[in-house]
Structure 1
Amino acid sequence: MPIPNVAALMAELHTRAAFRYRTDRDNARIAEITDTLARHAAAPEGYTLPPAAAALGDHALREGWISAIRWGTGPSTGRPYVVLDMRHPAYRPGRDRLMPWMVVAVWHTSSAAGGWYFSGGFCRIGEGAHGVHNPTAAANLITCNPA
């Protein structure tokens, strides 16, 4: 099952949900997006969300950001990984070139340590993308740009 572009789905969901008059087609698409996001938010059997990812996602929500979790399996290792997508409510892909605030953070399972490790991430602010080297840096960025 391919991993969806969560940021794009969240943006579409936010846009469609804001429509004052929705058609049956809009409501069906909202239900489809919600179902897709829910399927990819479920942890694989035997795994739980890394505590640092849970804390960062909670922090983003407290600051008014939108966050979503998606799980995947590494094609070469077969081990699970988790991606935390967070975006400022003002971010609309393809529309706001001057204010696309978005943070993506990735955790992988470690066969050696038997746990999770933060493998990196990126953020987009304005026209550029920047590396996020640890969850604290991502939390600081979110704190400095509340919704």
Structure 2
Amino acid sequence: MNIFDNRYFVIPVIAWAIAQTLKVIIELLINREFNAHRFVGSGGMPSSHSALVMGLTTTLAIDLGWNDPITAVAFIFALVVMYDAAGVRRAAGKQAKILNLIISELQQGNKLVDEKEKLKELLGHTPVEVIAGALLGFLVPYLF
């Protein structure tokens, strides 16, 4: 048996992949632009982190029950990941946006930093993005 035969790996990864694909589709619909980076990038709707951890938690709950200690551990882990996605990582993204604006204004034609070195702004998620990802992660195990 290998990792790809393990439903506790495969189903959460499917939930993650669906979330990442939805990000590309949503960006295409909203901005009329295909952005392949959205397949692997963080941030955006829905949260693939939330889909992944809730996919794992729900798969465990289906097999072991919601009252099983392993399911409880996975659910606590999921809550921490989702809190981080909507809290710490979102705040870091806002700070990156402000710092990029300051750097841009300071440059005024002078190259203080290389454009490639800009801070990544899309790090975290809004609460709605986290909830959408969690719902996706909750539903995918029931489809498989």
Q: Report the TM-score range of the alignment, normalised by the length of the smaller protein.
A: 0.3 to 0.5
Greater share of residues in helix: 2
Q: Which has the bigger relative contact order, CA under 8 A and spacing at least 6? A: 2
Greater share of residues in strand: 1
Instruction: Give the TM-score of the pair, scaled to structure 2.
Output: 0.32
Instruction: Give the TM-score of the pair, scaled to structure 1.
Output: 0.32
Largest Rg, 1 or 2: 2
